[in-house]
Amino acid sequence: MGKYVNPGNKAFAIVAGDDTYVDKSGLIEFTNNRIGRMRPLICFSRPRRFGKSIAAHMLTAYYSKGCDSREIFSKLKIAGLPTFEDELNKNTVIFIDMQEFRSIVHNDNKMPEVVSYMQTVIINELREVFPGILSETETILPRALGDIFIRIGEQFIVIIDEWDCLFREDKDNEKIQAEYVNFLRGMFKNASSDAFIKFAYITGILPIKKYGTQSALNNFDEYTMVQPYRLAEYIGFTEDEVQDLCERYNMDFDECKRWYDGYSFNRVKSVYSPNSVINAMNNGEFGSYWTKTETYESLLLYIDINYDKVKDSLAEMLAGGSVKIDTKTFQNDMVTIKSRDDVLTLLVHLGYLAYNGEERSVYIPNEEVREEFLRTTRNSSRPELANLIQESDKLIEATLRMDGDEVAKRIQLAHQYYTTSQFYNNEQALRMVIMLAYVSRVDDYTTFQELPSGKGYADILFFPKKKSRKPALLIELKWNHSAGGAIEQIKEKGYCDSIQNYGGDILLVGINYDEKAKEHSCNIEKFNYNS
């Protein structure tokens, strides 16, 4: 058993033995079915905190000759599938964690470049596993694997974790990137690699880099946050898996869904952020478990990029909307960013936005990510976005003071700044302006739209979060009628019935837009069940 050649199963055994482990071993059935095909090469990219390394260690534990993993997998789904025995601990596996190699080299300035160092240490282990085959001067890993195959017919399974870290961490170092691309092509895209590579699985955050319109490794099948195809259920936790965890840990499933759901694909409509769900179960509390410094810095970098309509797109998504994008222009790196669509596509791959493949649009997936966007936007160098949040804070304060005139004034400003007259022509357009104007509500409120209640549907309900002491805001919208009439409709149709068991105060907010006068008006009353 080596560190890089035929590694053991300890890393995965620890994870699989944890009470919070969610069984994703069905992925092995998929990878087993790829072995022996014309293209046994997979790149499965997804964001940090979405279980990439766990999956890589699971595949290593299953395939590697360096251990006996039968007992570990005996209780998992794969054990009951027909392909379980096919490749269990029968392969020579080379496991490469590119982040680890990069850290070693960067911590010791005397070390050679990361790509050459990585090849040297793996070849040294290969000499121990296959004595007498490789010369002492061999330094090129693909050539070494080819020589071993020619001499004894041994094929290799190659698993690379954080395969794209040099493109992310050393994004301005063209020399090291070129050396790395040449290494990858030598491993997976030369005349002899089809013989010595039995199967390859690489995982990271970014899809495989494009050069112009071509991929650096176009013989890989790619599964991404934009197009995960059959691997959608392995991106994160499914709804059934989260429901099971909530039952076991006595946690509120609806609250968990609000915080961590929102990633949706053609095959799986609800995918949850795994690391956040596990942290919530372990801590017994819902909240944001994204790494604060990392999230803030990376989001701020891309929010501040001054491309046309990035500001408008973010504002619309913060208000709860979605925006159309073209993901095809993205070059799959963090440097070649040339348009709004490139920025938003990168944020999809980083997990900050979710992609709707049917509508080709992006949106903020859940409460956790929305909080991070708001926190970052407040400190953005883009004054328009920072001002949007500040104005929203003032609007909420005016609403809580029941100052209808001030509320109408601030909604009027939001309308003038964020919409154009040709699109502001119905109640739905008014709804979008209200959602945008109240964008900072997510600090204290959960939003419900068209909530069934009484004899109809309440337009908008801002319901206080559990730790908030603010009143509920029930908002009714009118177009060419009156704000007072909106209040009366709330009362007459019993829209407050849906929250009649809520113990706190409720403010009724009626908002009307007069199309002829081009003015908003607002009435606010405190609701009393006895009146």
Domain boundaries, the chain: 10-223, 237-283, 292-381, 392-526
- Least confident interval from 127-131, 250-254, 272-276, 342-346: 342-346
Instruction: Name the band, by pLDDT with cuts 50, 70 and 90, for residue 366.
Output: very high
Q: Which three-class secondary structure state does DSSP give residue 153?
A: coil
Mean pLDDT of 211-237: 86
Rounded-to-integer distance, Cα 522 and Cα 118, Å: 66
High-pLDDT (> 90) share of the chain, %:
59
For 289-333, write each residue's pLDDT tens digit. 886 556 656 777 777 766 667 777 888 888 778 899 999 888 877
DSSP per residue, 83-114: TTTTSTT-BEEEEEEHHHHHHHHHT-TTS--H
High-pLDDT (> 70) share of the chain, %:
92
Mean pLDDT of 484-503: 87
Rounded-to-integer distance, Cα 157 and Cα 199, Å: 5
Residue 381's pLDDT is what?
66
Rounded-to-integer distance, Cα 309 and Cα 352, Å: 18
Structure tokens at 188: 């997976």
For 420-451, write each residue's pLDDT tens digit. 444 567 777 788 888 888 888 877 888 888 87
Given its phi and psi angles, is residue 187 left (phi above 0), alpha (psi -120 to 50 degrees) or beta?
alpha
- Residue 512's nearest CA partner among 438, 449, 456, 431 is 431
Instruction: Name the band, by pLDDT with cuts 50, 70 and 90, for residue 530.
Output: low
Residue 337's pLDDT is what?
80
Q: What are the Cα distances from residue 476, in Å, to 276, 419, 433?
A: 35, 20, 13
Residue with tokens 């960067």: 106
Residue 414's pLDDT is what?
82
CB 23 within 8 A of CB 55: no
The answer as to CATH 3.40.1350 being correct for domain 392-526 is yes
Residue 98's pLDDT is what?
95
Mean pLDDT of all residues belonging to the chain: 88
Mean pLDDT of 156-175: 90
CB 260 within 8 A of CB 251: no
Residue 197's pLDDT is what?
95
- Least confident interval from 68-77, 498-507, 517-526: 498-507
CB atoms within 10 A of CB 319: 23
Residue 229's pLDDT is what?
95
Residue 111's pLDDT is what?
55
Alpha-carbon torsion (266, 269, 272, 273), positive or negative? positive
Instruction: Name the band, by pLDDT with cuts 50, 70 and 90, for residue 209.
Output: confident
CB 466 within 8 A of CB 460: no
- Residue 410's nearest CA partner among 423, 420, 397, 421 is 397
The answer as to CATH 3.30.310 being correct for domain 10-223 is no
Residue with tokens 């269990």: 88
For 42-91, write each residue's pLDDT tens digit. 999 999 889 999 999 999 999 999 899 999 999 999 999 988 999 999 99
Instruction: Name the band, by pLDDT with cuts 50, 70 and 90, for residue 529.
Output: low
Q: What are phi and psi of 420, to 5 degrees?
A: -115, 155
CA dihedral 478, 483, 485, 488 (to 10 degrees): 110
Burial annotation 330-356 (CB, 10 A radius, 16+ → b, else e):
bbbbbeebebbbbbbbbbbbbbbbbbe
Q: Does the pLDDT at position 524 exceed 60?
A: yes
Residue with tokens 């400003």: 413
Instruction: Name the band, by pLDDT with cuts 50, 70 and 90, for residue 167.
Output: confident
Rounded-to-integer distance, Cα 293 and Cα 299, Å: 10
Residue 321's pLDDT is what?
82
Residue 528's pLDDT is what?
73
Q: Does the pLDDT at position 154 exceed 70?
A: yes
Q: Does the pLDDT at position 113 exceed 80?
A: yes
